[in-house]
Structure 1
Amino acid sequence: MTVWDRPTPPPPPVPLDREQIVAAAVALADEGGLAAVSLRKVAARLNAGPMRLYGYIATKDELLDLMVDAVYAEILPAGQPAGWRATLRVVAHGTRRTVLRHEWLADLLGGRPSLGPNGLAVAEAQLAALDGRADTDTVLRAVETVAAYVIGALRREIANLRAERATGLSERDWQRAHGPQVTRILATGRYPALARAVHDGTEVDAATSFATGLDWVLDAVAARLSG
Structure 2
Amino acid sequence: MTVWDRPEPPTRPAPLDRERIVAAAIALADEGGLEAVSLRKVAAQLDVGPMRLYGYISTKEELFDLMVDEVYAEILPEGRPDDWREMLRIHAERTRRTTLRHEWLADLLGGRPTLGPNALAVTESTLAALDGLADLDTVMRAVETVSAYITGALRREIANVRAERATGLSKRDWQRAYGPHVKRMLDTGRFPALAKAVYDGTDVDAETSFATGLDWVLDAVAAKLTPA
Bin for the TM-score computed over the shorter chain: over 0.9
Question: Which amino acid in 2 is paired with 1:103?
Answer: E
The alignment status of 1:167 with 2:145, answered yes or no, reads: no
Instruction: Give the equivalent residue in structure 2 for 1:113.
Output: 113
Deviation at 1:15, TM superposition (A): 0.6
Aligned twin of 1:144: 144
User: CA offsets per residue over residues 19-73 of structure 1, 9 Å max, x none?
Assistant: 0000000000000000010111101000111111111111111000000000000
Show CA shifts across 1:125-173 (max 9, x none).
0001101111111000000001111100000000001100111101111
Q: Aligned partners of 1:194, 1:225: CA distance in 2, in Å?
A: 35
Q: 1:203 is matched with which residue?
A: 203
Q: Say whether 1:88 aligns with 2:88.
A: yes
Amino acid at match of 2:117: P
Distance (whole Å) between structure 2 residues aligned to residue 24 and residue 197 of structure 1: 45
Identity %: 77
The list of structure 1 runs, each at least 4 consecutive aligned residues, that deviate by more than 2 angstroms after superposition, is none
State which structure, 1 or 2, has the greater radius of gyration over its C-alpha atoms: 1
Deviations 1:80-133 (A, max 9, x none): 122211111111111100100000000000001110000000100000110111
2:75 alignment partner, SS class: coil
Q: Distance in 2 between matches of 1:77 and 1:142?
A: 19
Alignment of 1:29-68 (within 5 A): 29-68=29-68
What TM-score results when the alignment is normalised by the length of structure 1?
A: 0.93
Tell me the residue number matched to 1:9.
none
In 2: Cα distance, 1:142 partner to 1:95 partner: 17
Unaligned runs of 5+ in 2: 1-11
RMSD: 0.9
